[in-house]
Amino acid sequence: MTLNYSTSALFTGSEWLNDVVVHIENDLVVGIDQKGFDANKAMPYIIPALIDLQLYGAGGRLLSEFPEKETIEKIYQFCINGGTGFFQPTIASQSMDIIYASINAVKAYKAAGGKGCIGLHLEGPWIHTSKKGAHDVSVIRVPELEEVASILAYGKDLISMITLAPEICTPEMIKLIQDAGIVVSAGHTNATYETAMQFFDAGIPVATHLFNAMSAFQHRAPGVVGALFDHPTAMSSVIADGYHVDYAAIRVAKKIMGDRLFCITDAVTETSTGLYQHTLVGDKYESAGTLSGSALTQLKSIQNLVEHVGIPFGEAIRMCSLYPAKVMQNKNISGTIAINKKANLLCLAADYTILISAFNN
């Protein structure tokens, strides 16, 4: 099958190209040029498919409450409606039974030909209770090596990221996780600046939701936030909804961190059962009056970055595509549009409305 998409502006992930046609054959990009360009049919923008490394559910089904492939199918539908082609379904701190059931759900989704799922993101339960955020303290725990090994064995090739507080885990545990090909992210952590720098120097590449549930930047105690600002390579996600983090704080962090800062949605869904219950209040979710999750899509993240933070459109796109891809180091996920790569792209109107989603993931 051959497809030709004319666009006034194509963002490849590295540069803007004006008045070009993207030629696609058998799901691959085979050309990017002006051959056949039709200004009357040209769409305003074509950008890479977006990537979301952290969201918990959709359509009234949290994965931790309904650990089934049907839940992941709903999450994927939510993702593609918001411009995301690749995603990590995520569960907050949970019991071993729920962790195993969530692994089974990812396995079943992939076995059924489900698209876009990078793997399971375990956010907890190995986190610091003083920085638990909305996590339920009853399931948070300091890990034992046997438990870590058991989860890794059961979730082989199905778990792709684990958020943990590195100060409560031994270096042996962290190495075991990384040797399994899983990205370790520092999050829900009360580490000092010095401890955080040591862990980032030792190879933890990323942190989870900058500012939220981590030791803050203070003038005599720079904390994990200060370590992320100061470290030359450590990356961090951030939630750009204006509630989890003030837009001015994102602006400051972006000036300091540059291409080390990227977006997640941290999106939840309305639920009234289980450990994690969320109620939609305006355009955010709350639990018992406390902020508990976002109602973001990654496309909305881009819009917020441009309109409220003042980040250029292309850089905002990178924060939701190229930079998350860099974190995952997955050869099948690039966050770019390039010849001889699979066509995973979005055609957008000037108001960020999706005209066409071409996801061949």
Q: What does residue 318 show for φ and ψ, rounded to 5 degrees?
A: -60, -40
Count, residues in the chain:
361
Q: How far apart are CA 204 and CA 25, in angstroms?
A: 39
Q: How far apart are CA 129 and CA 189, in angstroms?
A: 8
Active site residue ranges: 266
Quick check: 21 and 6 in contact, CB under 8 A?
yes
Q: What is the CA radius of gyration of the chain?
A: 20
The arrangement of strands across the sheet holding 284-287 comes to 279-281, 284-287, 290-294
Q: How far apart are CA 167 and CA 195, in angstroms?
A: 8
Nearest Cα residue to 161 out of 214, 106, 199, 95? 106
Strand ranges (DSSP E) for 116-169? 120-123, 159-164
| Residue 346, SS3 per DSSP | strand
